[in-house]
């Protein structure tokens, strides 16, 4: 025997393991015969939209109780109070019984989630394409709940059909710092089910929600449409588009339903303020392709922008090193450092970690392996004069 090979073809996101069974509904089989589920994720506090004018008040009225503002702006006491209220809200079971677990730091821990871990008993309510029934849609619009269609357990090439913790971390950051994204144009890369873009649409103006593969983009688009009740009143628009990091050009082939129009391409380069990507660093070649893609896109920007990247440091024991390693994470950090050290005379990149001290507005386990990184991107003078 030359070498030992362990194969583990199917991966399952922790998000779906931890979602309580009452929140899972198996609704259909997709084109590949995979069971498709719908999970409900409640935003634990009402998102109150600020108008541009409100922003000016924000600096004077940082402690208004009913606004979502940066955790740095909210006193500890208020955060505790808010989390108590919101926990109480979510822990009512289907019969209305109260089941409260409270912590004061606003961050959910694994022991709490363990209490929630239950077996999943899927219920098939329909097969084929029809699953957003009238009853479902009505139900959707009355609550502050994001409903995401996804699969559970996929091969690596299909991981975008599941929701990952990094998507929640980014969504949480957006909810806590909504004033940063008000009226922005945003590009999300590797958006998967569209979870983060949906949350971003509660504040930003235009979101290009991108990924690759028609089946995945179809699923993403269905989620975007099904969650209009979350962002529809803000007048924001989410456009699902193909952006393949392994290709050097945006898709403009009009036969592709997710292609880019000329105006959209122009808007992307001229108006984008923010780039996002959640949990897309798990394969070194893809990580290289991702960084090349953002470098290429950002080099064409005329205005300063900010990139937010969430990453989960996944530890693996390897026989090769006879030790626990996190090669994919190390490679991510290597690429980040390379970008920061780049001096091409066109664009300046400054990298910094974001402290995860902000409270949770979505229910997931914020493990210590989760990280959020920020890249501040400045076109140099020569670039803006092009």
Q: Which residues bind ligand SAM (CB under 6 A)?
A: 159-160, 163-164, 166-167, 190-193, 195, 211-212, 216, 243-246, 278-280, 286, 289
Residue 53: CB atoms within 10 A of its CB come to 7
Shortest spacing between CB 87 and ligand SAM, in angstroms: 24
DSSP 8-state assignment for residue 123:
-
Q: How far is the CB of 68 from ligand SAM (least distance, A)?
A: 21
For residue 222, give the H/E element and its range: helix 214-226
| 69/311 with CB nearer ligand SAM | 311
Q: What are the residues whose beta carbons fall under 8 Å from the beta carbon of 79, sequence distance 6 or more? A: 71, 106, 359
Asked if 194 and 169 count as a contact pair (C-beta separation under 8 A), the reply is no
Q: Which is nearer to ligand SAM, 79 or 309 (CB)?
A: 309
Tally the C-alpha atoms within 13 A of residue 12's C-alpha that lie toward its C-beta.
Answer: 7
Cβ nearer to ligand SAM, comparing 79 with 191: 191
Q: Give the tokens for residue 133.
A: 């029934």
Measured from the CB of residue 118, what is the shortest distance to ligand SAM in angstroms? 22
Report the residue number, 9 or 94, with the smaller CB distance to ligand SAM: 9
Contacts of 348 (CB under 8 A, 6+ apart): 377, 378, 380
Closest distance to ligand SAM from the beta carbon of 283 (Å): 8
- C-alpha 221/C-alpha 219 separation (Å) is 5
CA-nearest of 51, 81, 89 to 63 is: 81
User: Please, what is the minimum distance in Å from the beta carbon of residue 143 to ligand SAM?
Assistant: 22
- How are beta strands 274-278 and 185-189 bridged, if at all? parallel
Q: How distant, in Å, are the alpha carbons of 59, 204, 374 from that of 70?
A: 11, 16, 16
Residue nearest to ligand SAM according to CB distances in the complex: 160
| Cβ proximity to ligand SAM, 39 vs 86, nearer residue | 39
Distance CA 327, CA 378 (A): 30
Whole-number minimum distance, CB 194 to ligand SAM, in Å? 8
Compute the least distance from the CB of residue 240 to ligand SAM, in Å: 12
Q: With respect to ligand SAM, which residue has the nearer C-beta, 79 or 200?
A: 200
Identity of the residue, 47 or 243, whose beta carbon is nearer to ligand SAM in the bound complex: 243
CA 1, CA 146: separation in Å to the nearest integer?
A: 50
Cβ proximity to ligand SAM: between 74 and 243 the closer is 243
DSSP element (H, E) containing 286: helix 284-299
At its nearest, how many Å lie between ligand SAM and the CB of residue 190?
A: 3
């Amino acid at each position: 025997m030359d070498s030992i090979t362990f194969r583990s073809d199917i991966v399952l996101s922790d998000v779906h393991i931890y979602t309580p069974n009452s929140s899972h509904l198996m609704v259909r089989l997709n084109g590949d015969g995979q069971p498709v589920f719908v999970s409900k994720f409640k935003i634990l506090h009402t998102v109150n939209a600020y108008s541009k004018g409100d922003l000016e008040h924000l600096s004077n009225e940082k402690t208004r109780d009913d606004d979502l503002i940066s955790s740095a702006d909210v006193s500890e006491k208020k955060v505790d109070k808010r989390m108590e209220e919101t926990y109480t809200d979510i822990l009512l079971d289907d019969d209305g019984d109260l089941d409260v677990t409270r912590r004061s730091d606003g961050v959910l821990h694994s022991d709490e989630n363990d209490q929630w871990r239950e077996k999943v008993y899927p219920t098939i309510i329909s097969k084929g394409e029809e699953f957003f029934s009238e009853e479902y849609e009505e139900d959707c619009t009355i609550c502050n709940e994001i409903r995401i269609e996804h699969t559970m357990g996929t091969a690596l090439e299909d991981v975008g059909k599941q929701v990952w913790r990094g998507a929640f971390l980014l969504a949480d950051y957006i909810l806590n710092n909504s004033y940063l994204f008000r009226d922005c144009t945003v590009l999300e890369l590797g958006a998967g089910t569209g979870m983060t873009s949906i949350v971003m649409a509660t504040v930003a103006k235009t979101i290009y929600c991108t990924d690759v593969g028609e089946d995945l983009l179809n699923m993403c688009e269905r989620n975007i449409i099904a969650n209009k009740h979350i962002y529809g009143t803000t007048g924001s628009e989410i456009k699902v588009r193909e952006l393949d990091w392994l290709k050097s050009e945006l898709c403009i082939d009009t036969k592709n339903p997710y292609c880019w129009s000329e105006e959209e391409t122009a808007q992307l380069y001229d108006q984008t303020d923010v780039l996002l990507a959640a949990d897309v660093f798990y394969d070194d070649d893809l990580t290289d392709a991702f960084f090349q893609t953002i470098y290429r896109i950002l080099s064409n920007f005329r205005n300063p922008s900010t990139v937010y990247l969430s990453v989960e440091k996944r530890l693996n024991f390897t026989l090769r090193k006879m030790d626990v390693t996190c090669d994919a994470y190390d490679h991510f950090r290597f690429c980040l450092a390379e970008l920061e050290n780049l001096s091409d005379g066109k664009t300046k990149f400054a990298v910094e970690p974001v402290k995860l001290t902000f409270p949770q507005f979505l229910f997931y386990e914020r493990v210590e392996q989760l990280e959020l990184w920020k890249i501040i991107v400045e076109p140099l003078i020569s670039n803006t004069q092009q």
